């Protein structure tokens, strides 16, 4: 196992009754009987590539924001989370994931804006109105699903194609759409209380028996984009970029350094100052979005701490 400045780069635990291990872009996922144990590492990804250096405290930030919002939305849809036995760990129910990610957008930014600016007026089969500016609010939030790729890039897909290809049944897909919009509405209201705008996000769902379950993380800076509410209208009126909290600034830094994940491009070196800035931005987002003070969970051996906390939980 290797770590940066008290960082989790990767884990390689062996737990009793462990049946499987999966290393995602950011999480290390252990299957233990009917449980999933997810360790949120400090890896960071952009353009479907994991960057070479971990970001201090990023895993703790993601894990704790996700738990905050999963607990706050459990009345809308049941979710997978059972416990967070460590600041970097979530344990929950193992579900069979749907092969789509439900991306929901309230504002014209990011990928949707890039399509729009290039003249596209449709994204994932959803028509977009003419005459919109970057950062402008849609009349109503739109759902722009992507296929969930085991390898490589997730691809945009339309509702019609999902149903035609039988990726999700019509009954289940209607439920996913309903849950997605309800979760986005709740997330929007919670963000507004903190003087933020939830711009866009994605939700992942699975099935446990006949029940639809919300899985993975929600409303974190890895899966969502937030604008600052203060000054939003003025910046929009003056065609100025919105002040935002998301991973977009990492993508922009990479693009400025000639990297968009395309073939033949070299990943730039990440200087210490940039790594520290990313860490600070993640902590800032945690405090802004949850309204709680972030407590850095330092320990002499972060890997041992995580292992002990997981084993203690499993032994209960």
Give me the residue label for tokens 């960071």.
44
Phi, psi values for residue 139, rounded to 5°:
-55, -40
Out of 1.10.540.10, 3.40.950.10, 3.40.50.920, 3.30.200.20, the CATH code matching 18-96+250-314 is 3.30.200.20
* Amino acid 21: pLDDT: 97
CATH superfamily of 97-245: ATP-grasp fold, B domain (3.30.470.20)
pTM of the predicted structure, to 2 decimals:
0.90
Tens-digit pLDDT profile for the chain (316 aa)?
333 458 999 999 999 999 999 999 999 999 999 999 999 999 999 988 999 999 999 999 999 999 999 999 999 999 999 999 999 999 999 999 999 999 999 999 989 999 999 999 999 999 999 999 999 999 999 999 999 876 666 799 999 999 999 999 999 999 999 999 999 999 999 999 999 999 999 999 999 999 999 999 999 988 899 999 999 999 999 999 998 887 878 989 999 999 999 999 999 999 999 999 999 989 988 999 999 999 998 888 999 999 999 999 999 7
* Amino acid 3: pLDDT: 38
* Amino acid 246: pLDDT: 75
Domain chopping of the chain, boundaries: 18-96+250-314, 97-245
For the chain, the first-to-last Cα distance in angstroms comes to: 27
* Amino acid 293: pLDDT: 97
* Amino acid 150: pLDDT: 66
């Amino acid at each position: 196992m290797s770590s940066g400045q008290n960082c989790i780069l990767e884990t390689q635990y062996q737990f009793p009754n462990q049946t499987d291990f999966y290393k995602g872009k950011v999480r290390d996922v252990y299957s233990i009987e009917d449980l999933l144990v997810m360790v949120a590492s400090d890896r960071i990804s952009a353009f479907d590539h994991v960057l070479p250096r971990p970001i201090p405290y990023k895993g703790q930030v993601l894990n704790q924001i996700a738990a905050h919002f999963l607990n706050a939305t459990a009345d809308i849809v049941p979710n997978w989370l059972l416990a967070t036995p460590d600041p970097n760990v979530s344990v929950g129910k193992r579900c069979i994931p749907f092969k789509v990610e439900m991306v929901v957008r309230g504002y014209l930014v990011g990928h949707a804006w890039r399509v729009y600016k290039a003249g596209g007026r449709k994204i994932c089969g959803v028509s977009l109105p003419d005459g919109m500016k970057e950062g402008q609010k849609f009349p109503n939030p739109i759902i722009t699903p992507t296929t969930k790729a085991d390898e490589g890039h997730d691809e945009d897909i339309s509702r019609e194609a999902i149903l035609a290809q039988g990726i999700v049944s019509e009954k289940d897909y209607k439920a996913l759409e309903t849950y997605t919009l309800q979760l986005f509405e709740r997330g929007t209201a919670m963000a507004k209380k903190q003087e933020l705008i939830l711009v866009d996000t994605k939700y992942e769902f699975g099935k446990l028996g006949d029940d639809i379950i919300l899985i993975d993380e929600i409303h974190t800076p890895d899966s969502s984009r937030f604008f600052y509410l203060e000054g939003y209208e003025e910046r929009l009126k003056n065609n100025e970029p919105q002040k935002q909290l998301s991973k977009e600034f990492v993508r922009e830094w990479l693009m400025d350094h000639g990297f968009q994940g395309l073939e033949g491009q070299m990943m730039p070196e990440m200087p210490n100052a940039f790594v520290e800035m990313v860490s600070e931005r993640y902590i800032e987002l945690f405090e802004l979005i949850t309204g709680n003070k972030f407590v850095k969970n330092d320990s002499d051996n972060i890997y041992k701490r995580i292992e002990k906390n997981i084993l203690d939980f499993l032994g209960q």
